[in-house]
Amino acid sequence: MHEFDDTIAAIATAPGAAGLAVLRVSGARALEIADGVFHGRGTLAAAAGHTLHHGWAVWPGAAGSAENPAGPIVDEVVAALFRAPHSYTREDVVELSCHGGALNAARLLDALIAAGARLARPGEFTLRAFLSGRLDLAQAEAVADLIHAETESARELALSQLSGALSGRLATIEERLADAAAEVEARVDFAEDVGGIEVPAHVVEAVSDVDASLAALLDGSDWSRAIREGARVPLVGRPNAGKSSLFNALLGQERAIVTQLPGTTRDRVSEAIEIAGVRVTLSDTAGLRDPSDEIEAIGVERTHAAIADCRVALWVVDGSTAPAEADRTIARALEGKRVLVALNKCDLPRAARLDSLESWRSAEPRRVVAVSATQGSGIDSLRDALAELIGAGIGDAGGLALAASNPRHIEALGRARAALARARDVASAGAPGEIVALELRDALGAIGEVTGRGVGDDLLDRIFSRFCIGK
């Protein structure tokens, strides 16, 4: 499926008004097609790589005039030339910079397609870079992560993985595991020469060391995944618990409407803040109770949808009133989630007991923090506790760049660890080396999926279809 004998083109910059727009052309005919549009002092085909050329883009094949003998002008452009294999795709690449604006860029793209290029599919330039061996699959996916990074921590994580930090660690792990598998297979093939097919203790120890290395990559995965993807945290609780006030206090601005009337919040109000390098989208939701009308019923339904969609929830409890059965209902709704309890209104006489809240294990709160949304007390502690719940501080912070952050990588490395565990178990039970070798090869295959070794076209299509066109 992925045999590229054609030449592709696409707009590489975001649409809209801007000083410049860049169009990229890549493929065996990139220079020929670009020359069909570009007119300067000389042809691009005769120019050296890594050079810039000023000229005019004209409509290919159109008749010229006395004023414009080369043909109708599309725009004034600068052409950047990159000859294979010294380009992003390792093919011949031409990048044309024109004036910004949707109309200019679209017209220049139309001219390139008229000259013989094909419109690139989403992610096709990076797919070609992967298939040519310039990037492995983990690095290619980091390109998309870098483009979509919304915090400095997310940008640094993507850059680290784009530079090959994770891939390098995995290559070392693969080499050690391949050596262990090769020794087991050699003992099977030459049992008479080595005195049996049992797996020696030092191989089992090597497998354990590999497993420990994979565990280290997964230790910080909750945090690194949150940095990569962000986190959605709904504020849930009974009406008048102070959810909207706490929402505003965390944002540092009056975003949600606050009144003394229960049921004021009818729909979700969401805003993003940054906590510990993570883009956290907070959602103020309708209070959970038996709704009084159809509109409130819709709001309550959307609150339940927000709970179902999140991994972390902020449960706001009115500390000035005793816990009610409605709170137990909320606890059951939060079952299986990571829950932080904000014991609000701590500036008022306290009626809710911390130990009673902590005893409601169906919600499994990691921590209860006393706050006053109206007075602003406890807000910093609440932020710190929320960061912990998201995963900050789990694993070696210095090795965060090496932590698996992509869900696909996390799942594959988890399968690799499961195969290693089976290999150790059967080896310890004295099973034949063939069984151990099969498990080790399964582990190697799972690790290889991260960097792209042996992956199929279907997986590549799913991954690169999420990229933007032009990258």
Mean pLDDT of the chain: 84
**Residue 266: what are its φ and ψ, rounded to 5°?**
-105, -25
Least confident range from 261-275, 296-310, 340-354: namely 261-275
Percent of the chain whose predicted confidence (pLDDT) is above 70: 83
Confidence class of residue 304 from pLDDT cuts 50, 70 and 90?
confident
CA atoms of 150 and 172, how far apart (whole Å): 31
| CB atoms inside a 10 Å sphere around CB 279 | 20
DSSP-assigned states of every residue in 283-348: EE----S--SSHHHHHHHHHHHHHHHH-SEEEEEEETTS---HHHHHHHHHTTTSEEEEEEE-TTS
In order of 43, 139, 374, 460, 465, the CA distances from 133 in angstroms are: 30, 11, 57, 14, 19
* Range among 39-48, 67-76, 288-297 with highest mean pLDDT value: 39-48
User: Is residue 143 pLDDT above 90, yes or no?
Assistant: yes
**pTM value surpassing 0.85:** no
> Domains along the chain?
8-134 (3.30.1360.120), 148-220+401-451 (1.20.120.430), 232-390 (3.40.50.300)
Contact, 232 vs 272, CB < 8 A?
no
Q: Which residue, 449, 430, 427, is CA-closest to 438? A: 427
Residue 270: its H or E element: strand 269-275
Digit-coded pLDDT (tens) for 236-274? 888 888 888 899 899 886 654 444 444 444 455 888 989
Using the predicted structure, report yes or no on whether residue 395 has a pLDDT greater than 50. Answer: no
Instruction: Assess whether pLDDT exceeds 50 at residue 347.
Output: yes
Angle at 77 between CA 72 and CA 83, to 5 degrees: 115
Q: What is the pLDDT of residues 213-242, one digit of tens each?
A: 999 999 888 888 889 989 999 998 888 888
Give residue 87's pLDDT band: very low, low, confident or very high (50, 70, 90): very high
Judge whether residue 165 has pLDDT over 60.
yes
Asked if pLDDT for residue 351 goes beyond 70, the answer is: no
